[in-house]
Structure 1
Amino acid sequence: MEAGENANNRSPTATPKIQTIQNFASLQRENTGFKKYHEPRAVLLGPIHYGKPKYQLAEKYKLILASEFIKNSSKVIDELYKKIEDNIKEPRECYEEEATKDYPDKALTWIFFVDGYAILQYIYCATTNKFKDLNIKNDCAALGQQDLFLLENQLPYCLLKWLMRLSQLEAHQAESKKGESLHSMEIPHEQRLSMDGDSEPIHLLHLLRTTLLDNLKKVNNSSPNNSKKQDWQSYRNGKDLKNAGIWLKPKTTFLNDICYNPSCFIGYLNLPKISADNSTGQKFFNLMAFEMCPDFDNNFEITSYICFLNSHMNHADHVMELRKAGILHNFLGSDQAVAKLFNELGTNLVPNLSIYSDVRADIHKHHQTLLSHMFRFYHDYFDSPWSNPTFFGVLLELILSVIQAWFTVKLTSQSY
């Protein structure tokens, strides 16, 4: 009841609060299998999960990272800590009240102090390959990278910028910050790391979402009088598209940049490249959970993209079509594992049907053409090792029957 009142009273232009997944995403919360996606694997960041015993080893690494960052600063620890404590109200208000109510100012100041500088040093080490200097192994660094992008593990982006300014290393760290180890999503770092206009991201997960999407792309790309709105399944899987004369074509671009291009007798469905690995499920789950925040005004681009991929990956052979086209890089091993992953992610989602509406309409239109029927006829009857012999056997039998009938008629007429 209280959550509903807070949502109703919040201004549409208010900055979304950092919160727990149990505040929303109720459909996904019912599936206990999603717990592996929203709980940290190695390191706790921020107040939401703070103090859990199984993460004590990571706390030592955070102290090492934070002290290394501060050591390279011209400021002393007491001075930096005091400035955070004096201004603790601003970062505290970046969270839902429930997440920080049990923390007095001094405790919350310590969390922001250690975790904030640990994140900045981690990013610096990730972009300069200097984890070995701090005796941090690659597997720990990889798990730490994944934990940076959990919704419940976020620190306010404004706090990170503030900490850099306080330490007088902003110019040096600004370039390092751009890396964020986002290369695993195969999106070039140069492509729009800033937000639309003069606004800035709320946290690192928000920044990740921004790098993956084309902010300038219109959501509703259909004409107002377009009456050919098809259901979501009209996308069809890659095998069905190929059989109808639509070929899959890869492109290195933003996730929401999906389009259909006709070319002579066939069509091309252009899809952005993507990798499937051990971090894919966790990353996309948290991006979708962020879109479901009741106070985050967005068009559900990531959610709609996952629904789109899910419609193309019902079975392993559908994944194979995407892989053969160069769209999907599979690091999970089997194609069935990839299909299972995206089927799991795509369960109980509500996409934005305005996104890709022109793509749906164009694919549906292509399927109504005579050429598409010819492609499907060919694949139905000739696209197997036994199709041609069977066809020619039937054709030969038909020809012989016609010849036999002709001779029968000819002989019968001569007898008269």
Structure 2
Amino acid sequence: MVAVYNKELLSWYLITLKLRDTLQPNLPKTSTSTAASAADLLLDQQPLPVLPRHQQEQDPSSRPLEVEVRNNEPDAKIVEEARSDKTPGGTGPEWVVSIRDRLDQARQDDAACPWAKLSIYRIPHYLKDGEDKAYNPQIVSLGPYHHGKRRVRSMDRHKWRSLHRVLRRTRHDITLYLGSVKELEEKARACYEGQVPNLSSNEFVEMMVLDGCFILELFRGVVEGFKELGYPRNDPIFSMRGLMHSIQRDMIMLENQIPMFILDRLLGIQLGDPDQKGLVAKLALRFFDPLMPTDEPLSKSDRSRLESLGFSAKFDPLSDYESGLHCLDVFRRSLLSSGPKPVPKNWIRRWSNTHRVADKRRQQLIHCVMELREAGIKVRKWKTDRFWDIKFKNGVLYIPRLLIHDGTRSLFLNLIAFEQSHFDCSNEITSYVVFMDNLINSPEDVAHLHYYGIIEHWLGSDGEVADLFNRLCQEVVFDINDSYLSTLSVEVNRYCDHKWNAWRASLKHTYFSNPWAIISVIAAVVLLLLTLAQTFYGVYGYYRPAGS
């Protein structure tokens, strides 16, 4: 039952009910609707004060009148619960219903997103921050994220040309490719972050086949020769022209990837073995070789030296690539698969609190080159094909050669974004870039590294190289204690803390920096010795004359 504490309010309510029944004769008159209407009216009114029990007993007129709901007792209970939902922060039962609807939508979204299968991510907004050109393809789009955008739409006709060439060369029907990729559609969609927008099942499969065959034609053309695949020598796309470098740069971007298992299936159909794996990864590395950040050739003596240090001089970077996620993942693994990398020691992790949340303020691994030089630390070129393999021994920091070109910025940014996004991905590339960012603060640092052959670049000036590294990790956050270079950094910083090393370095830089300075120092020392000898003999002769 519903308790009403105001007789006048009840009278107005009954009059309102009578008017409504008169104006709406078709409305069913049930006790349930009456109770609900009563609840709605009461919820819209301000709460009325309730007299204490002892005042109600003294004043019978103040006792509440009771309106019973006899036919439907559960509905009356619901009305009481609805009245209790009238909270200052809400708007009534509709507010609760809307929250439940949102929770139900969240449950559906959670069930529809298989997070464990994600591998192709959208770039986080905090990383983009004005770097759209480094993350967004400028010539060719692959996959759904940039599909159909105006700036890359002109490449679609060349994609259709490549598909036509594949079908004509293999004498296959297009339904063979569509049907095979259709079987992998659900698995492929799960690789992309969020729901793939505005693409039906047929459109998605068509896009996978079209983009996948285009990629394979480029891979095979670079390795086997475009002429062997039937393309003319002056083809605007499928030829070794200057545009190929821009296409390579677009194809290595994180948002511009096709799942590797789709490419494996398409190439397998062309070769007559749909279940083959690993061949696409090998073709991809040959195709992306110009983007490698180092091209340091190793002689036999260099390989022997690496073997003596415990590294394998001859290795197959694709031995474990059958599980590659996409071309960017394959490229990254090829950079890091050339040997073991040191890991932070346990005592360093315990001392530095391993479970600390990543903090932008805690990314200073090491001092810059000029400061290290003042502390007595030398930097020298370390001849190896592993650009991340940095060593420190006896006050010398050995750094491998790094080649910087116009695509290096985009390459490192997308590698860092992948490491920041993918849960099962380590942070070696990020650690290396942060380390180099610490080393390089000014054009003088770049000039010093360039003098010793550590940095080679095709940019306009040393200042552009310094700016490149200083902006690569502007918004990147990670814990330096999870870096494979943390142990080395501790050793370098410990060396810098010894003042004797700094004094010795200062003496060397001041008086032994060049041959003329060395000659001047030697002359000054000889002159000082002669002066002391002259003074000694003068004093000695005064106190001990020759005749005495």
Q: TM-score, normalised by structure 2?
A: 0.63
1:272 maps to 2:272: no
Q: Which residue of 2 aligns with 1:20?
A: 122
Q: Is the 8 A contact 1:382 1:388 kept in 2?
A: yes
1:254 paired residue among 386, 389, 393: 386
1:312 maps to 2:439: yes
Q: Equivalents in 2 of 1:11, 1:96: separation in Å?
A: 9
Query: Structure 1's 327 and 399: CA in aligned 2 closer, same or farther, altered over 3 A?
Result: closer
Q: Equivalents in 1 of 2:411, 2:515: separation in Å?
A: 42
1:334 paired residue among 458, 461, 468: 461
Q: Equivalents in 2 of 1:226, 1:85: separation in Å?
A: 48
| Shift of residue 35, structure 1, vs aligned partner | 1.1
1:158 paired residue among 249, 255, 261: 261
Q: Is the 8 A contact 1:194 1:210 kept in 2?
A: no
Q: Give me the CA root mean square deviation.
A: 3.7
Query: Structure 1's 219 and 253: CA in aligned 2 closer, same or farther, altered over 3 A?
Result: same
1:126 maps to 2:222: yes
Q: Equivalents in 1 of 2:151, 2:212: separation in Å?
A: 21
Q: Secondary structure at 1:78's aligned position in 2?
A: helix
Q: Equivalents in 2 of 1:114, 1:210: separation in Å?
A: 26
Matches within 5 A, 1:36-55: 36-55=133-152
Query: Structure 1's 378 and 288: CA in aligned 2 closer, same or farther, altered over 3 A?
Result: same
Query: Structure 1's 308 and 245: CA in aligned 2 closer, same or farther, altered over 3 A?
Result: closer
Q: Secondary structure at 2:397's aligned position in 1?
A: strand
Q: Equivalents in 1 of 2:163, 2:509: separation in Å?
A: 61
| Shift of residue 101, structure 1, vs aligned partner | 3.5
Matches within 5 A, 1:294-309: 295-309=422-436
Deviations 1:262-317 (A, max 9, x none): 3xxxx432323221111000011000011111x42233111111111112221222
| Shift of residue 207, structure 1, vs aligned partner | 0.8
Q: Is the 8 A contact 1:80 1:167 kept in 2?
A: no
Instruction: Say how many residue pairs are matched.
Output: 399
Q: Which residue of 2 aligns with 1:176?
A: 283
Q: Percent identity?
A: 23
Q: Equivalents in 2 of 1:359, 1:38: separation in Å?
A: 32
Greater relative CO, 1 or 2 (CA 8 Å, sep 6+): 1
Matches within 5 A, 1:24-103: 24=124, 26=126, 28-29=127-128, 31-32=129-130, 34-98=131-195, 100-103=196-199
Q: Equivalents in 1 of 2:272, 2:118: separation in Å?
A: 28
Show structure 1 runs of 5+ residues with no match: none
Query: Structure 1's 10 and 95: CA in aligned 2 closer, same or farther, altered over 3 A?
Result: closer
Choose 65-74 or 53-62, whichever is displaced more. 65-74
Q: Is the 8 A contact 1:260 1:269 kept in 2?
A: yes
Q: Is the 8 A contact 1:44 1:50 kept in 2?
A: yes
1:142 maps to 2:245: yes
Q: Secondary structure at 1:278's aligned position in 2?
A: coil
Choose 312-321 or 114-123, whichever is displaced more. 312-321
Query: Structure 1's 7 and 18: CA in aligned 2 closer, same or farther, altered over 3 A?
Result: farther
Q: Equivalents in 1 of 2:532, 2:110: separation in Å?
A: 78
Q: Equivalents in 2 of 1:144, 1:60: separation in Å?
A: 15
Q: Is the 8 A contact 1:250 1:326 kept in 2?
A: no
Q: Equivalents in 2 of 1:122, 1:216: separation in Å?
A: 30
Q: Equivalents in 1 of 2:418, 2:525: separation in Å?
A: 61
Query: Structure 1's 385 and 240: CA in aligned 2 closer, same or farther, altered over 3 A?
Result: farther
Q: Is the 8 A contact 2:253 2:414 kept in 1?
A: yes
Choose 304-313 or 211-220, whichever is displaced more. 211-220
Q: Which residue of 2 aligns with 1:209?
A: 332
Q: TM-score, normalised by structure 1?
A: 0.81
Q: Secondary structure at 2:137's aligned position in 1?
A: coil
Q: Secondary structure at 1:321's aligned position in 2?
A: helix
Query: Structure 1's 223 and 379: CA in aligned 2 closer, same or farther, altered over 3 A?
Result: farther
Tell me which amino acid in the other structure corresponds to 2:476. Answer: L
1:383 maps to 2:501: no
Tell me which amino acid in the other structure corresponds to 1:379. Answer: H
Tell me which amino acid in the other structure corresponds to 2:381. Answer: K
| Shift of residue 329, structure 1, vs aligned partner | 1.9
| Shift of residue 25, structure 1, vs aligned partner | 5.6
| Shift of residue 261, structure 1, vs aligned partner | 3.0
Q: Is the 8 A contact 1:124 1:173 kept in 2?
A: no
Q: Which residue of 2 aligns with 1:344?
A: 471
Tell me which amino acid in the other structure corresponds to 2:391. Answer: C
Deviations 1:95-138 (A, max 9, x none): 1223x142110111111111000001111112234276444261
Q: Is the 8 A contact 1:228 1:361 kept in 2?
A: no
2:452 paired residue among 318, 325, 330: 325
Choose 122-131 or 155-164, whichever is displaced more. 122-131
Choose 209-218 or 393-402, whichever is displaced more. 393-402
Q: Equivalents in 2 of 1:366, 1:278: separation in Å?
A: 36
Bigger radius of gyration among the two: 2
Matches within 5 A, 1:188-227: 191-195=316-320, 200-214=323-337, 217-218=340-341, 220-224=343-347
Q: Equivalents in 2 of 1:313, 1:132: separation in Å?
A: 47
Q: Equivalents in 1 of 2:448, 2:111: separation in Å?
A: 46
Q: Equivalents in 1 of 2:198, 2:537: separation in Å?
A: 100
Q: Which residue of 1 aligns with 2:493?
A: 364
Q: Equivalents in 2 of 1:377, 1:132: separation in Å?
A: 66
Q: Equivalents in 2 of 1:7, 1:340: separation in Å?
A: 41
Q: Secondary structure at 2:456's aligned position in 1?
A: strand
Q: Is the 8 A contact 1:37 1:285 kept in 2?
A: yes
